[in-house]
A and B are shown apart, each in its own frame.
Chain A
Amino acid sequence: MAKVSIFKAVITLLLPLVCLSFSPEEPTDRRILVLVDDFSLKSSHSIFFNSLRSRGFLLDIKLAEDPALSLQRYGQYLYDALVLFSPSTDRFGGSLDLAAVLDFVDSGHDLIIAVDASASDLIKNIATECGVDFDEDPSTVVVDHGSYAVSESDGDHTLIVSNDFIRSDVMLGETEIQAPVLFEGIAHSLNAENSLVLKVLSASPSAYSADPSSKLSSPPTLIGSAISLVSVVQARNNARIMVTGSLAMFSNRLFRSGVQKAGSPNKYPKSGNEQFVTELSKWVFHERGHLKAVNVTHHKVGETDEPLSYRINDDLDFSVEIYEWSGKSWEPYVANDVQVQFYMMSPYVLKSLSTDQKGLYHASFKVPDVYGVFQFKVEYHKLGYTSISLSKQIPVRPFRHNEYERFITTAFPYYGASFTTMAGFFIFSFVYLYQK
């Protein structure tokens, strides 16, 4: 009896969690596991955490070496996203390790990695698996004598500013980030072979990765705009990853700090960090830039029902509805670069879809004069958006025997000849048989 009631209690406790979790219909993450080296981060980075909480996320902040750490239980993931704010962790507690983090991402969950100069090999390896290579020399940080933040107490020029953002409204929001972003941390570069990883915030051309307290003996491995300060990955399964070499970037200190770039007269009372980090986290946690395509329909021009197959040279109408998740509801997605392909081994027709501004995309075209099994394909990849990849199979047949043209003018002389011969034969039969 007691067991049953405990079971019931567990179910009632778990049920809301299950309902709140990530689903294709509500793609925003809900439950986030934050791993920290030290609980003081709760307080020093509280603005960031509070902004997440106020947006409805359930944060679970744990020590990285907590022996009870686990991402999944009974094959179900307990979290939708993982935030690694634990740069110096050599080994996670519990069942969490490199492979578990990668599995978590491989199953479509999101990840934020922020490190600082104390980054451990474990965290660097996770980043490497995501296509981001941190500077291997542990003593280096990003130094920029050209675009550092004017400060009366930091003379090293390791607190640098950057406003070289990626041009993407979906990642960074529609409001332009006016004030530059303060960065204090280590450099990373993008793996050239990974085509999914993108630089969101790049360093200025005069930046370099070096140890400010010792003389440079060899050319720095990372220099100029090869240095990425913040990078993101959108995997093929739409899992989103953000990697940055500066944990301080998320801190209250840099959120609140004023900023003035060296050599620039503009003084901003507040750095762009809060806006930048908040907007980018909205993207990472799928509050933005998540698309869905529904109601794929096609039919012959003038008809409404979807046919089982098309005949070559038919005229057809194709339409699809695309919506974007706004964090709360699905809003119509408006763009002019959605394309449909009519595809068999290679696209025979590739056409841009026109939109009615309410999410409906439409195109009409003629079926090619090649028969076979075709597909309607919508492959939509746009910077920052989840990719849409849908296909619908449809056979195309040639003309039936009685569908060819029957009365060809060019053939009339032949018909005329035949029929006059027949008429002649008929008359001749009379003359031949009954002539006297």
Chain B
Amino acid sequence: MGRGNLGGGFALLILVVSSIYQAAAIFHPISDSHRSAALDLFTPVHHGSFSSSLEEAYEALRTFEILGIIENKPDVGAATCHTVSETFRSTSSTSKDLYHASKVNSILKCDVDSKVFEGVVSRLQAAVSDAGSLLDFYYSIGSLVLIKDRTSKEDLHLVDAEGVFHSIKALSQSDGRWRYSSNNPESSTSAAGFALEALAGVVSLASSEIDQSMIGTTKSDILKLFDSIEKYDDGAFYFDEKVVDASDHQGPLSTTSSVVRGVMAFAAVASGSLNLPGDKILGLAKFFLGIGIPGDAKDFFNQVNSLACLESNRVSVPLILSLPATVLSLTKKTPLEVRVNTVLGSNAPPLSVNLVRASNSGSKGASIIENQELKFDPENAVYILDVLPKGVDVGKYVFVFEVVLHDSELKKVYVTGGQTQVPIFVTGVIKIDNAEVAVLDSDLGNIEIQKKLDLAGENAVSLSANHLEKLRLSFQLTTPLGHAFKPHQAILKLIHETKVEHIFMVGSSGKQFEIVLDFLGLIEKFFYFSGKYDMQLIVGDAVMENSFLQALGNVELDLPEPPEKAPRPPLPVDPYSRYGPKAEISHIFRSPEKRPAKELSLAFLGLTFLPFIGFLVGLLRLGANLKNFPTSAVPATFAILFQLGIAAVLLLYALFWLKLDLFTTLRTLGFLGAFLMFVGHRTLSHLAATSAKLKSA
């Protein structure tokens, strides 16, 4: 983080250059947004008390106290006070519990019996003399100090203040940091904060003056500690632990907060001044303000409490210069306002704010305003530069302010950080003139069609061109003061019907902006797509109040046919089209074979009976008879059986059609066939014998 010790003027130059970037961060003091955030963050949870633990209750109450929120509802106070007196009475309370109880008590001023305090004090005195670790000292001494303040007992003293001072001091390290206990070799920066706060407590509890040499060495410890301070690019200073132990890493906020509390507590009790550099104190204030509004209750408390320490410290009170608005509009004639407050947002002592110089951030050096004092408006406590000087045009500027305290005595109390650089945007309406679009003949550049455009209003020109022609778009931009204006963004967009976009930067010479699209060279870029192209002109800049995206109309392009291997652009896909139901599919069934009408089939069925009927009629006409039927019993039986067999076979065929399957039919036919063979043979041989007898007879 540190900026390296480059020598001499070169380092100074770098400082000047880099401080432009430094100035990018503007710090605002605590404001109402902090107050409303605090109300959101610290809400009573447990039946009117703030939290389960006194530590959290103290953090909430202390935050509210600092921010000046009248939130001490009686029920909150009563419930918490009850816990406090419980803690004081209980003999099993540790010194840490007592410490937090005393802290809460110092705010709520609970009604605790003085006898209870006496017991607590004697227990704490014993704890101090038995203390082995830094935190033991910290909590028990801290509690004693708070009880002393609360009960205004002048005779409350530490028994062996010098000895305690020595045993705490014994834990300190050569680099200004402290160890938590003698058997813990790791030194810590936050421990230094606790130690200093404990030492401050010892000093205020001492019955006689503590040895000045010891106070002196502690002061030099503090200075050594400040040597290890770290720095952000925006000018904020902070402390962090050297060894980052991931398991209980507290972060720079709590470390810095601990150190600030410790140093400021020590500075408050130690006689003589602590020669801490003012810019580091201001840097610490910037660090806490730069956090913004923490979302964590502990962080919020650490931030607000540390700022409160800085607000009323004996070393130097930081004053913060802030601007409610860094964007100034020329059209609205916004006045330049500057506020100077303490970190908690209260008013600063009488002082004047000078605008040392203001220069355009683009062209370094050329200063447009120099040494102008801002007018003080006591009603709103702001310093105002009413009218921007005539020469200020739209653009980005760096304004350098200087805070000068009126009373030279106050210069020792307050630290203002010298000159403050602030980036300022001056915005205004840019005048747009002579906008026109034209189609040019390629060879001679003769204008074929020319259309005027009104870039402030609606445009719907409709042009057509082929690949041998050119399209020219031109317009002029001038600042309110009549200078040429170059916007950051001046882009012509051509959008084909297929949503394929092409962008072109519009270049300028002076005020005149012009782009000429030679379609002959753009055929490939346009993927040989003929058709309608919508034209859009986008002109925008951070300081241009009338930045616009304007549809100009369209141009119908007639480009040659693409060759075979012309590349195709990736067509944009609509994400919604990938989803949604598909078209339904229903199966097309094979159509059944065409059949004649039922009646026709039945008519033919009738026709098939005709030969049979004709046969019967013929038999009757011919005089058919059955006279040859055997007459004797046995042959007649066989003949009957034979005829019945034939009838059975025919019936079997009918049944085969109606219901039987082939296997049953064949099996039955097998039996019937054998039977028919037998009876048929007997019948036929009988008939043959009869007819032979007749012939021979």
What 1/0 mask marks residues of chain A from 57 to 72 whose CB sits below 8 Å from any chain B CB?
A: 0000011001110000
- Does B325 lie within 8 Å of A427, measured CB to CB? no
On whether A420 and B542 interact (CB within 8 A), knowing A152-B325, A352-B581, A412-B602, the answer reads: no
Residue contact B601 to A410, C-beta cutoff 8 Å: yes
Complex interface residues of chain A between 199 and 220 (CB less than 8 A to chain B): 199, 205-206, 208, 210, 212, 215-216, 218-220
Given contacts A409-B602, A422-B650, contact A167 B576 (CB under 8 A): yes
B299 contacts A by Cβ under 8 Å: yes
**Smallest beta-carbon distance A85→chain B, Å:** 14
- Interface contact B423-A155, CB-CB below 8 Å: yes
CA distance A127 to B386 in the complex (A): 50
Is A43 in contact with B294, judged by CB distance below 8 angstroms? yes
Residues of A contacting B292 with CB < 8 Å?
Answer: 44, 252-253
**Could you tell me if A146 and B327 are in contact, using CB atoms closer than 8 angstroms?**
no
Asked if A153 is at the interface of the complex by the 8 Å CB criterion, the answer is yes
Query: Interface stretch among B124-132, B173-181, B408-416, B604-612?
Result: B604-612
A315 to B495 alpha-carbon distance, docked (Å): 53
Q: Given A153-B26, A420-B608, do A43 and B295 touch, yes or no (CB 8 Å)? A: yes
A205 touches B491 (CB 8 A): no
In the complex, identify which listed stretch (A128-136, A179-187, A365-373) lies at the interface while the others stay far away: A365-373
Q: Point out the residues of chain B lying under 8 angstroms from A423, CB to CB.
A: 612, 650
Note all chain B residues with C-beta closer than 8 A to A365: 586
Complex CA–CA separation, A365 to B587 (angstroms): 10
Are A409 and B628 in contact (CB-based, < 8 A)? no
Flag if B589 contacts A198 (CB, 8 Å). no
Judge whether A43 and B296 touch: CB under 8 Å.
Answer: yes
Please classify how large the interface on chain B is, using the bins under 10, 10 to 19, 20 to 34, 35 or more: 35 or more
CB-based nearest A residue for B253: A40
Q: Please pick, from B576, B601, B602, B647, the residue contacting A383 in the complex, using a CB distance under 8 A.
A: B576
Complex Cα distance, B601 from A434, in Å, reads 37
Most A CB within 10 A of own CB, among B424, B489, B505, B538:
B489
Q: Does B228 sit at the interface, judged by CB under 8 A?
A: no
Question: For B598, what are the chain A residues with a Cβ–Cβ distance below 8 Å?
Answer: 409
A42 at the interface (CB under 8 A from B): yes
| Residue contact B547 to A155, C-beta cutoff 8 Å | no
B294 in contact with A44 (CB, 8 Å)? yes
A24 at the A/B interface (Cβ < 8 Å)? no
| Contacts A40-B253, A43-B295, A145-B544 given; does A410 touch B596 at CB 8 Å | yes
Interface bits A397-436 vs B (CB < 8 Å: 1, else 0): 0000010000011111101111111111111111101111
Q: Contacts A46-B294, A198-B575, A382-B579 given; indicate if A151 touches B327 (C-beta within 8 A).
A: yes
A339: Cβ under 8 A from any B Cβ = yes
8 Å CB interface, B640-694 against A = 643, 646-647, 650, 653-654, 657, 661, 683-684, 687
A418, chain B: closest CB distance, angstroms: 8
Q: For the complex, give the distance between the alpha carbons of A428 and B624 in Å.
A: 10
Across the interface, name the chain B residue whose C-beta is closest to A411.
Answer: B601
Task: Classify chain A: how many residues form its interface, as a range.
Answer: 35 or more
Report how far A431 CA is from B622 CA in the complex, Å. 11
A82 CB-CB contact with B under 8 Å: no
CB–CB B589/A402 < 8 A: no
Given A383-B576, A433-B687 in contact, is the A416-B608 Cβ separation under 8 Å?
yes
Q: From known contacts A205-B536, A219-B505, A436-B628, infer whether A152 and B324 are also in contact, taking CB-CB under 8 Å.
A: yes
Stretch at the interface among A11-19, A292-300, A343-351: A343-351
CA distance A432 to B491 in the complex (A): 113
A434, B251: Cβ atoms under 8 Å?
A: no
Complex CA–CA separation, A399 to B611 (angstroms): 38
- Assess whether B406 is interfacial by the CB under 8 Å rule: no
Asked if A334 CB lies within 8 Å of chain B CBs, one says no
Contact pick for A216, options B323, B326, B488, B654, CB 8 Å = B488
**Is A383 a contact of B628 with CB atoms below 8 Å?**
no
Residue in chain B with minimal CB distance to A418: B653
Whether the pair A44, B291 counts as a contact (CB closer than 8 A) is yes
List 15 A-B pairs, Cβ < 8 Å.
Answer: A68-B246, A155-B327, A155-B396, A157-B540, A166-B575, A339-B581, A350-B585, A370-B587, A408-B595, A409-B602, A413-B608, A424-B611, A426-B650, A431-B624, A433-B639
Closest 6 CB pairs of A and B: A46-B295, A145-B540, A155-B425, A152-B325, A145-B547, A436-B627
Residues of chain B whose beta carbon lies under 8 Å from any beta carbon of chain A: 26, 33, 37, 246, 249, 251-253, 291-296, 299-300, 323-327, 396, 423-425, 427, 486, 488-489, 491, 493, 501, 503-505, 536, 538, 540-544, 547-549, 570, 573, 575-576, 578-587, 589-590, 595-596, 598, 601-602, 604-609, 611-612, 615-616, 619, 624-629, 639, 643, 646-647, 650, 653-654, 657, 661, 683-684, 687
